[in-house]
Structures are given as structure tokens and as C-alpha cells.
């Protein structure tokens, strides 16, 4: 469903006058085994593939969704008009519509893909409210900053929220040097999207680091996972009389600011898409001669993180990329093949992934 078509359905769901809204996966795949009813407090269900490929359906109450919108407006200095440049299958895209509803403003909806700087600039020119905002992922911002025609449009925004993956420092520096106001956001569907701006929790959100893991509390937390009590129990815990979401991200608090240092598992986020490195490695090892290859994540100025194949033999990269993407999607396609004399191993005989990543970083 397009942003325009979703807006009235969201308005009804948040007002309690209509059914809950289901936001499916970005690839448009039909939902499987959706329940005919959900608890009355649920206004929105966001579906993603999850790290194992098993769909997870995050159930959000109207209170949580509206609390997120109010926290964002407070952090941004007021409610305003929004430009929708992200798919509404993502919580960040849905939030643009929710914030528009809460602000009683009409969002400007960017035409469907491909993402194009000229169309972005034309859409931004239609915005007429005193405060103007949009949400982007780093790859989109990089594309816009590289197009001179888009710079005046970018400078018209009072703030651009940048999320979906880690933003390369060089990209943030370039935006600042060009006079573009950008705030990095951190959050997930389970926290109704970004609830930490530039390292600081917004609204009534709280952050804590427990055993190296980022945990989040506040009124924007999801009710849990629809039809999956076991997963809900693992991800949401009670502590000190408050409910916390265990993000699965490693992090630390430095000078009062949250710094996310990576995933606690093998998931990377490439272009806003979760990529399981284990699945990529398993697919790569199906290629003749790459049975011992290792796949690790590496930072990318454009995509945030990308899979890299480490092997003792070279292969044709375009062909390998097609081999992987045909099974796992474009985001999982290896960015490059790093040929080494030998794969570093631990005493157990398993690949020494720490040593491999360190060698690639040199």
C-alpha cells in the first residue's frame, strides 16, 4: 500500500475507529497466516524477516506509536511537515505518516522507486510548512549530497533524520560542511523506530547497557511479537519495575552518549537491510573452490556495512554476487573477495574472525 493509501487507515487505527494496520515486508510478499483479529490495543503490526529468515511481527499499541511521535516532535523543536522518502514497510516510513497525523499536516510522498535526486528536490519544493523534516538512510543521503541539484532542497529541511544503519563519519562531516542539518537516529520496530537521537534518548526513553548489550525502556516499546510468546519473553524483560527491550546490539555509554559498536550476533545492516553473515557464508561455500571461505562484515561509506568474502582462491566477483543474491537478496551479495595466503584459525580449527577482520581493516 502506498503512503497516500496508508494514511487514512493509520489515522483510523490510531484513533480506535478502525482495524490494526499491517505493514508487510519491503519485497511485497503476501503475508502468511495473519490472524483475523488482534488485541484491541494493537494499532500497528510491522513485519520483517528477522535474522533467521523466520518472519517476526512486531505488535505496537496506539499509545506506543503516538508516544514515539510526541517524543520526536519534542526533540526536533516542534511538529512540522514531513517528506516520505522511505518504504512504508519500514517503521521509519510509517513514522513519517504517524508524525504527520499527530502534527495535523499533509505529508509529501516521494514517487515510488527508483530513488532520484531530481524527484526528491521537486517533492521537497512542494513543502510549505514553517518546519520541514524527512527521514533517510545513509545511502540515500550520500546520493543526494553527490547531486548538486539536490543541495538546495536538503538545506530547506530543519532536520533530516538518518537511520537504518550506522552512518559513516565522513558522510556526516560532508553533510555538516554543506550546511545540511542531520541527526543520527537509533531504534528498531520494537521501539517504534528511532528513540535515540545523536546518542541521546528522546522523550521518556531510557537506555542502559547490561552485559554489554543495549537495552531500552519507555512508553514507545512494542507489546511484543504477534503470536510468538517465546520470542517476546526473550526480547522484553522486567527490571526495577520497568519493562526493557533487549536490542541484541553491543554498545557503551561514553560521555553520556550511546555508542553502538555492533551486533551481538552475526547480523550486519547493509543499506537498511538485515543480512545474516552465516547464511551468506553457507551460500558462498556452495561455490566450487570456496568450501573454506569465510564471510565477515566490513564498514562501507555508502551502505554502512557489507559482506566480504575471505578466501585463499580468487573467483569472478560479478558471478559470485549473482550466485548469492539469487538466493539471499541483493543486500547479501559480497562486496568483494579478499584473497589471503591462509585463513587464520583458532586452536579449535575454526576461523579466527577477529584476526580476519583486523587484517581487512589494515
Q: Beta partners for 253?
A: 258
CB atoms within 10 A of CB 117: 19
C-alpha cell at 166: 550506522
Q: Give percent of the chain with pLDDT exceeding 70.
A: 93
The 10s digit of each residue's pLDDT in 99-134 is 999 999 999 999 877 889 999 999 999 999 999 999
Is the predicted pLDDT of residue 348 greater than 60, yes or no?
A: no
The candidate with the shortest Cα–Cα distance to 89, out of 38, 142, 22, is: 22
Show the cell assigned to 14: 490510531
pTM over the 0.85 mark: no
Does the pLDDT at position 139 exceed 90? no
The overall average pLDDT reported for the chain is: 89
Mean predicted confidence (pLDDT) in 330-359: 83
Smallest Cα–Cα separation from 138: which of 171, 110, 106?
171
pLDDT for position 266: 79
Which pLDDT does position 2 carry in this prediction?
55
Phi, psi of 351 (to 5 degrees): -60, 140
Q: Pseudo-torsion of CA 47, 52, 53, 58, nearest 10°?
A: -10
Question: What's residue 322's pLDDT?
Answer: 96
> How many helices (H) does the chain have, and how many strands (E)?
11, 21
Query: Is the CB of residue 74 less than 8 Å from the CB of residue 80?
Result: no
C-alpha cell at 219: 512508553
For the beta carbon of residue 183, count every other beta carbon within 10 angstroms: 20
pLDDT at residue 52 in the model = 39
Q: If you average pLDDT over residues 268-295, what whole number do you get?
A: 88
List strands edge to edge, sheet with 42-48.
21-23, 42-48, 56-61, 224-225
Is 312 in contact with 300 (CB distance < 8 Å)? Answer: no
Instruction: State residue 51's pLDDT score.
Output: 39
Does 349 score more than 60 pLDDT? no
Three-state SS for 143?
A: helix
Looking at residue 29, its pLDDT comes to 52
Q: What angle do CA 104, 109, 115 make, to 5 degrees?
A: 150
Tell me which DSSP letter residue 345 carries.
B
Q: Tell me: the pLDDT tens digits for 23-66?
A: 865 545 556 677 778 888 999 999 875 433 456 899 999 999 99
**Which of 170, 43, 159 has its CA nearest to residue 94?**
43
List beta partners, residue 60: 44
- Cβ of 76: how many Cβ atoms within 10 Å? 18
Lowest mean pLDDT among 27-31, 263-267, 290-294, 347-351: 27-31
d(CA 68, CA 72): 6
> What are the structural domains, with CATH classification, of the chain?
3-262 (3.40.50.12780), 266-361 (3.30.300.30)
pLDDT at 167: 78
Amino acid at each position: 500500500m502506498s503512503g497516500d493509501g496508508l494514511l487514512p487507515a493509520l489515522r483510523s487505527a490510531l484513533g480506535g475507529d478502525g482495524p490494526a494496520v499491517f505493514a508487510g515486508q519491503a519485497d511485497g510478499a503476501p503475508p502468511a497466516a495473519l490472524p483475523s483479529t488482534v488485541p484491541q490495543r494493537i494499532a500497528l503490526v510491522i513485519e520483517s524477516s528477522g535474522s533467521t529468515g523466520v518472519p517476526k511481527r512486531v505488535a505496537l499499541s496506539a499509545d506506543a506509536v503516538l508516544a514515539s511521535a510526541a517524543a520526536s516532535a519534542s526533540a526536533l523543536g516542534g511538529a512540522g511537515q514531513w517528506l516520505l522518502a522511505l518504504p512504508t514497510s519500514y517503521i521509519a516510513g510509517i513514522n513519517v505518516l504517524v508524525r504527520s497525523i499527530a502534527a495535523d499536516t499533509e505529508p509529501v510522498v516521494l514517487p515510488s522507486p527508483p530513488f532520484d535526486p531530481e524527484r526528491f528536490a521537486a517533492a521537497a519544493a512542494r513543502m510549505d510548512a514553517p518546519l520541514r523534516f524527512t527521514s533517510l538512510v545513509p545511502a540515500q543521503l550520500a546520493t543526494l549530497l553527490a547531486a548538486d541539484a539536490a543541495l538546495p532542497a536538503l538545506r530547506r529541511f530543519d532536520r533530516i533524520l538518518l537511520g537504518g544503519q550506522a552512518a559513516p563519519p565522513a558522510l556526516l562531516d560532508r553533510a555538516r560542511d554543506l550546511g545540511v542539518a542531520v541527526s543520527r537516529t537509533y531504534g528498531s520496530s520494537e521501539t517504534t523506530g528511532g528513540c535515540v537521537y545523536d546518542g541521546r534518548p528522546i522523550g521518556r526513553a531510557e537506555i542502559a547497557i547490561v552485559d554489554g548489550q543495549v537495552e531500552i525502556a519507555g512508553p514507545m516499546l512494542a507489546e511484543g511479537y504477534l503470536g510468538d510468546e517465546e520470542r517476546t519473553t526473550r526480547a522484553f524483560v522486567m527490571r526495577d519495575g520497568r519493562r526493557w527491550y533487549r536490542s541484541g546490539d553491543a554498545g557503551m555509554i561514553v560521555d553520556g552518549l550511546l555508542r553502538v559498536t555492533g551486533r551481538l550476533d552475526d547480523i550486519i545492516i547493509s543499506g537498511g537491510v538485515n543480512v545474516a553473515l552465516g547464511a551468506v557464508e553457507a551460500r558462498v561455500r556452495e561455490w566450487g573452490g570456496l568450501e573454506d571461505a569465510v564471510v565477515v562484515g566490513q564498514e562501507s561509506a555508502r551502505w554502512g556495512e557489507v559482506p566480504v568474502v575471505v578466501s585463499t582462491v580468487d573467483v569472478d566477483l560479478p558471478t559470485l554476487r549473482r550466485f548469492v543474491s539469487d538466493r539471499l537478496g541483493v543486500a547479501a551479495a559480497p562486496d568483494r573477495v579478499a584473497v589471503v595466503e591462509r585463513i587464520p584459525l583458532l586452536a579449535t580449527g575454526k576461523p579466527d574472525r577477529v584476526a580476519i577482520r583486523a587484517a581487512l581493516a589494515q
